[in-house]
Homo-oligomer: A and B are copies of this chain.
Amino acid sequence: MNVPDQVSEGLAICQLRDVLDRVGDKWSVLIMAILGDGPRRYSELRRSIDGISQRMLTLTLRSLERDGLVIRTVTPSTPPRVDYELTPVGHTLSTEVGSLIKWSEQHREYISMSRRTFDAE
């Protein structure tokens, strides 16, 4: 991966931090994974993601929209309707996340076994 000696001064790593802050929070990837299947309404997202509060759903969607990863479309009807969908760039990140999901599926057992072994001491 060719990491410079003073890593945090390397530009690549600063960028990495940005992405990890973007992707590493509690709900972002979950939302991106769902939107990877296609557009969803606000209420659909809420029902799909068990345990998310209204507050965090809104905050996370705003943040994704701000970063150009999600598009928000308001239909001013009564009741109002809001749809969310991935942007093209959002889709590419969603793909990266998918590869992380595969990794986690393949190594889940190894990790939980490692933890049990480690905790046994």
Contacts and interface: CB of A to CB of B under 8 A. Distances in A.
The binding surface of chain A is classed by DSSP as: helix
Interface in A31-50: 33-34, 36-37, 47-50
Contact of A93 (B5, B19, B67, B107): B107
Interface residues of A, number: 59
B101 A1 contact: yes
Contacts of A13: 30, 33, 101
Interface of A: 1-3, 5-9, 12-13, 15-20, 22-25, 29-30, 33-34, 36-37, 47-51, 65-69, 89, 92-94, 96-101, 103-105, 107-108, 110-111, 113-115, 117-119
